[in-house]
Structure 1
Amino acid sequence: MRINARLDEEYADKLAFIQQQTNQAVTDVIKSAIELYYQQLQQEQKNPFSMLTQTGFIGCGEAHPDISVNYKSILRDGLKAKYGYR
């Protein structure tokens, strides 16, 4: 595939710097950048835990520290406090 891209001065300078530091051709720099970005996106898709922590979903709520063990009694006490005895 042939790519034709227009870069503003800032990105042209960055590309020139990368070429100077790595001694690579423009094609090789672009290939490396695409590979790096591709791997990053693949890693994000494979790791659901990472996605949940990045969005702030994990750790956003508060609960009793022993809720997984005592969930029945906690629920019973909460319903009793809300509705009383029936």
Structure 2
Amino acid sequence: DQIRVLDETKLLETLKAYDSVFLYQKAGYVLEHFKDKFMLTDSFFEECKSRLTNQIKYFLQDEYKDIEFNSKWKLMAPKNLKSRLNGGY
């Protein structure tokens, strides 16, 4: 709860440096759950989405239970991400 705002410019610079579609997918998917908390703008997410392809990826390798397709991010991802981040399944 100590981080209040994320610097979108630095986030996008870092994503660009790694140049990975999969990283844009994961970052967009995860950070969208905390959009209000970290004061992220729609333009940040639009930039992430602009880097996506039509390829569908799995958020976690070799994990196939309690997941669902997220069409916005083209990811097979946990049904309840926040619960998973807090140690739940």
Regarding TM over 0.5, the answer is: no
Larger Rg: 1
- Give the structure with the higher percent helix: 1
TM-score (norm 2): 0.23
Point out which structure has higher relative CO (alpha carbons under 8 A, 6+ apart): 2
